[in-house]
Each structure stands twice: as structure tokens, then as C-alpha cells.
Chains A and B, each alone.
Chain A
Amino acid sequence: AQKVTQAQTEISVVEKEDVTLDCVYETRDTTYYLFWYKQPPSGELVFLIRRNSFDEQNEISGRYSWNFQKSTSSFNFTITASQVVDSAVYFCALSEVNTGNQFYFGTGTSLTVIP
């Protein structure tokens, strides 16, 4: 079974629209970390956020915001007023502390922002 599910394979939005990328995870560990990474067309992986399982506060960083809900095992990522530079593949990932910090990545969501 997939530990991290990103059901949206591809999304296209018009510039300035808001877009939410979904991430659902599965774990029995009580202590875990969730991450989002961005992979632009150039191919490198860029860290966006790290959130631990005990901190359910939403986080905002400029146009980016994250909504963590343990009740639904979701860690969704919203880009407000999208820009062409946001076009990339976005990965959600899970690390389980008590099982040795093995990492599980989702299959990614490819976001295209149309000018």
C-alpha cells in the first residue's frame, strides 16, 4: 500500500489562480515528519517545508501555505496567486521516526501555470 498518496497527477491553472495540491499519508507511527519538495524543470529537488506530527498548526510562507490535519491524515499545500515560476513537480514525503527514518515519497503532482 502506498504510504503517501498524491492523487492529482497533473494540474493546470491560469496564472494568479489559487491551487491546492493534496497529500494523504498512512502511518502507525506516533512520531513522524512530513515534507514537501519542489522539482522544477531543471531537475533539482528543493525543500519547501518540514512539519512534525505533534504540530498541527497551519503554516504560511509568502504565497505558500500548508494545512496539516491528523484527523484525515492529510498535509495539503496551497499556492495563492500562482505564477509561471511555480510550474514544477511537487512531492510530498513522510519520515517515520520510530522505524528508523525511512522516507516515503508520493508519486508527485505536476503543476503547470499558464500565463
Chain B
Amino acid sequence: EAQVTQNPRYLITVTGKKLTVTCSQNMNHEYMSWYRQDPGLGLRQIYYSMNVEVTDKGDVPEGYKVSRKEKRNFPLILESPSPNQTSLYFCASSLSLGLALSEQFFGPGTRLTVL
């Protein structure tokens, strides 16, 4: 089944404790992206990657890191989480069609709480 998987689905942690949220897709998509969803703010893009070893900042990259060493994986790293990073996080992937993209397929989301 074609899908985007994220782990963990739920995470409660404390300020300053490094964490990684994994994202993996099995559709051979070139483009992958991370978003955070907060009430009243919609989805905001954190980082995106057009292909392996290529990453770009989205609208809200501060406090996050990503890497794209393999096409299928795009982990999101919070080196020193803070309470303002409490949010619902979505990973997504899409196929590159030349310069354009197909629709994005989203993972199920990761609910992160930072105390």
C-alpha cells in the first residue's frame, strides 16, 4: 500500500531533550516536506526537500533540522525542544513532474507535547 508513515504518532517530552520524528514514504517520491499545524494558523511548512541531499527552509524552520540521505526517509530533528514547538506535525511527499509537483500525500501526523 502506498503510504507515508510517521513515528512516533504521539510524543510527550521535556524542554531540551533532543528528539527525532521519522518519516518514510514507499512511493519513490522526490519531494518531501514537514509541516506543523496549530489552531488558527493552518499548516505551515518547516522544511522541504526536492531530492536526496537537497533541503530548503520553509516558513518556520527555526528550532528544527532535517536531513535527506535517502530518497524514502526525511527525519525531523528537534535538537532542543521548547514548549512553543508543541504542535501537530505532518510529513508529506509528492512526485516531481519536471519543475512541478503532483499532489502531496500526507502522513497520519505526530502529536508532540513539550513540557
The interface of chain A, by Cβ under 8 A from chain B, is 6, 9, 31, 33, 35, 37, 43-45, 47, 50, 52, 91, 93, 95, 97-98, 100-108
Answer whether residue B59 sits at the interface, using C-beta atoms and an 8 A cutoff: yes
Answer whether residue B67 sits at the interface, using C-beta atoms and an 8 A cutoff: no
> A45 and B42: CB pair below 8 A?
no
- The answer, among A31, A35, A47, A107, for a CB contact under 8 Å with B42, is A107
Contact of A95 with B101 at beta-carbon distance under 8 Å, contacts A101-B48, A104-B59, A107-B41 already known: yes
> A102 and B48: CB pair below 8 A?
yes
A-B contact count (CB 8 A): 63
> B104 and A47: CB pair below 8 A?
yes
Choose among B42, B45, B104, B106 the residue with the greatest number of A CB atoms under 10 Å from its CB. B42
Query: Considering the complex of A and B, which 9 residue pairs feature the smallest CB-CB distances, nearest first?
Result: A107-B42, A45-B106, A105-B43, A47-B103, A105-B42, A97-B99, A108-B42, A50-B103, A103-B45
